[in-house]
């Protein structure tokens, strides 16, 4: 296991993925602001939530890159398309599974069935995050695929 390679490229891939996510929002591809979703787990303060959320996103992106690395290690081979493939599977998991349980687990998110309630006012994401814009799945798939490509190309197996 190439620990220094994981630390370096895991971090780089996470930074690039975060940048692409912010870019897709800025370009109007999606309204979803992932750092804001994560940050509101801790605080209702919009600006502070984005800051906390970005830190959490960077940290967990780094941690998740370890899963990619472990898959490369177990396959005994990396490469861009394998990275992209893992990224797409990762994105599908986020879109289908994580988004579905988010309203039930996020302390400030409204339920789709019952609507907003006191302290639970955030719009739920809907299936595959479609409430946040019809092109949200494309944005998530693209950013995660690039995340995987960076790891697949630059991580050197040991």
Which residues sit at the interface with another protein, rule CB under 8 A?
25, 28, 30-33, 36-37, 40, 44-48, 108-119, 121-126, 131-134
Asked whether the beta carbons of 109 and 100 are under 8 A apart, the reply is no
User: Is the Cβ of residue 33 or residue 65 nearer to another protein in the bound state?
Assistant: 33
CA distance 99 to 35: 14
Quote the least distance from Cβ 120 to another protein, whole Å: 9
CB 148 within 8 A of CB 83: yes
- For another protein, the closer of residues 14 and 30 by Cβ is 30
Q: How far apart are CA 69 and CA 76, in angstroms?
A: 10
Q: How far is the CB of 81 from another protein (least distance, A)?
A: 31
Are the CB atoms for 110 and 121 separated by under 8 Å?
A: yes
Nearer to another protein, 18 or 33 (CB): 33
Least gap, CB of 100 to another protein (angstroms): 15
- Cβ at position 135, least distance to another protein in Å: 11
**Burial bucket for residue 34 (CB in 10 Å: 0-12, 13-18, 19+):** buried
Which residues does 66 contact at the CB level (< 8 Å), separation at least 6? 6, 10
Residue closer to another protein (CB basis): 32 or 141: 32
């Amino acid at each position: 296991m190439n620990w220094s390679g994981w630390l370096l490229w895991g971090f780089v891939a996470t930074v690039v993925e975060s940048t692409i996510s912010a870019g897709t929002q800025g370009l109007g591809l999606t309204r979803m602001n992932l750092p804001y979703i994560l940050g509101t787990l801790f605080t209702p303060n919009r600006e502070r939530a984005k800051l906390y959320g970005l830190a959490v996103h960077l940290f967990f992106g780094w941690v998740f890159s370890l899963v990619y690395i472990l898959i490369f290690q177990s396959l005994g081979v990396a490469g861009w398309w394998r990275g992209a493939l893992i990224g797409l599977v990762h994105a599908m998991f986020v879109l289908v599974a994580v988004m579905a349980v988010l309203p039930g687990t996020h302390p400030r998110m409204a339920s789709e069935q019952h609507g907003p309630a006191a302290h639970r006012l955030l719009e739920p994401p809907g299936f595959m995050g479609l409430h946040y814009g019809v092109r949200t799945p494309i944005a998530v798939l693209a950013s995660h695929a690039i995340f995987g490509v960076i790891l697949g190309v630059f991580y050197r197996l040991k």
